[in-house]
Amino acid sequence: AEGVARPVEGRPGQLQVRFAPEWLSWLPLVWADYWVIALDPDYQWAVVGEPDRKYLWILSRSPQMPRAQFEQLKRQATQMGYDL
């Protein structure tokens, strides 16, 4: 699926994202809140979650990241209240 993200004004790291077609973008319910909760300084990976801590994504520019890095990011997310 292809999505569109827009930053939340005054809230660094917070995005509103939609995967619905553009013609539906006027509907508030097609936009979901996503938070960037961890970010590599070189933008090689990011951890993105929803504020209710129901969903979490660990994103990487490469097909695989070092296992130790992946486990560290999972621990960090768990400490933030994500149930993995």
Q: Is the pLDDT of residue 1 over 90?
A: no
**How far does CA 72 lie from the centroid of its chain?**
17
Which CATH number do you get for residue 59?
2.40.128.20
Supply the pLDDT for residue 25.
Answer: 86
For residue 24, give both structure tokens: 């539906």
What domain range is 44 assigned to? 4-79
Mean pLDDT of the chain: 93
Residue 42 in any domain: the answer is yes
Residue 31 in any domain: the answer is yes
Evaluated on CA atoms 51, 56, 61, 65, the torsion sign reads positive
Q: What is the percent of the chain where pLDDT is above 70?
A: 100
Residue 17 to residue 29: CA distance in whole angstroms: 11
Tens-place pLDDT, residues 23-51: 988 888 889 999 999 999 999 999 999 99
Residue 78 to residue 52: CA distance in whole angstroms: 13
Residue 58 in any domain: the answer is yes
Number of independent structural domains in the chain: 1
Residue 84 in any domain: the answer is no
